[in-house]
Structure 1
Amino acid sequence: MQQRTKWLVIVLIGSVWFLNACSTLQKESPTISPFTFTDQQGEAFGSDELEGRLWVANFIFTECDTVCPPMTTKMADLQEAIQEEQLDVELVSFSVDPQVDTPEKLKSYLLQFTDDDSNWHLLNGYSQQEIEQFAVDEFQTLVNKPQDSTQVLHGVNFYVINENGVVIDDFSFSDPELVDKILQSLNK
């Protein structure tokens, strides 16, 4: 059973890579549809609060055994760089395991990386099916939680969204220049 999960991970990562490679051929960037979810404070948060603002998004979950801790570390590095440059940017991390990631658990998770959540919102408040569809529809990335696993397969990109809710750039978290590239994108 564990071998099957490893193969699923390999297939999903390959699929995400392929979709990301194909996404560079697109002429029109996706615009994020209106949404309202729940943040780590247990408060409603969504597109209304992000309207007219730059924001950076990614997909993570608190029980992740692989990419999420380094992705969250990169987001914390980005938060610090944004503060140093005095940019008004919101950070949004969508949980891909919403039944496990309660607001309290998300808040505790975030405290492992930063004690400042003034501009960083970890979101849940949707079903597994809803986040899987949201990821595909809004960010053109895959999210899948196999029934026989506690791990969730998901894309590893960071998305830069402009004041109009349009995804203007996306970058792999594994890019060693991730923070610098996102800052350049935010300063366009």
Structure 2
Amino acid sequence: MKTRFGLVFALIFTLILSACGKKEIENAVNWPIKDFSATTQQNKSMGLKDLKGKVWVSAFIFTSCADVCPPMTSNMVKLQKKLKEENLKDVELVSFSVDPTVDTPEVLTRYAKQFGADLDNWTFLTGYSQEFIEKFAMDSFKTIVKKPVEGNQVIHQTYLYLVDKKGNIKKTYSGYKNVPYEEIINDIKTLE
């Protein structure tokens, strides 16, 4: 009887230990990002290969946005500060412009500086066609980007996307209101 009890106890203890060691992202997705070719705010070429091996968080914004982009960018600045506080140095932030004809590298640089973005680990991307970013957003990020024929306001959603080292989107979060910073940081640590 004692041997049986000891065996059961050892089995339970082993299961508990193995569960503690296995960290997983809750409600994770696994959406592969298609390759892309873009231009950074520093007028340098960038593609998916340049982000391989890094964990990154991305968003879709544009500089003449009248409503959601300024708070989203401010929230990314807060996330960037929290990453530094947590000593997570190898995490990149990537903002894709959804209005590439307006958002030149120079315009994106001014925009980034206006918000106090640290460009050491935050890249703002442009240099592709409107058609490309609309298709890329839908195919890889499962999100809508649409520039109407009239007006200058591009339709897009306000999510932040966590991407793993292999270039797969693992999770989406609100990037506009009630940003779950702690959850994002914990999920990033899981992928590190």
TM tier, smaller: 0.7 to 0.9
What displacement does 1:177 show?
4.1
CA distance in 2 between counterparts of 1:114 and 1:178 reads 21
CA distance in 2 between counterparts of 1:71 and 1:132 reads 19
**Structure 2: which 5+ residue stretches go unaligned?**
1-26
**Structure 1: which 5+ residue stretches go unaligned?**
1-25
Alignment match, 1:12: none
Question: Which of 129, 133, 146 is 1:131 aligned to?
Answer: 133
**Which moves more between the two structures, 124-133 or 27-36?**
27-36
CA distance in 2 between counterparts of 1:80 and 1:133 reads 32
Distance verdict in 2 for CA 1:173–1:148, change over 3 Å: same
The structure with the larger Rg is 2
CA distance in 2 between counterparts of 1:56 and 1:160 reads 5
TM-score, reference length from structure 1: 0.83
Alignment match, 1:11: none
Indicate the SS of the match to 1:112. Answer: helix
CA distance in 1 between counterparts of 2:172 and 2:32 reads 13
Q: Does 1:53 align with 2:51?
A: no
Indicate the SS of the match to 2:31. Answer: coil
> CA-to-partner distance for each residue in 1:14-54, whole Å, 9 max, x for gaps?
xxxxxxxxxxxx98521112222101000012212111110
RMSD: 1.5
Alignment match, 1:103: 105
TM-score, reference length from structure 2: 0.81
* Aligned amino acid, residue 71 of structure 2: P
Superposition pairs of residues 39-78 of structure 1, within 5 angstroms: 39-78=40-79
What displacement does 1:178 show?
2.3
CA distance in 1 between counterparts of 2:163 and 2:148 reads 29
Indicate the SS of the match to 1:187. Answer: helix
Alignment identity in percent? 44
Q: Does 1:183 align with 2:174?
A: no
> 8 Å contact 1:61–1:96 — kept in the other structure?
yes
Q: How many residues align?
A: 163
> 8 Å contact 2:29–2:171 — kept in the other structure?
no
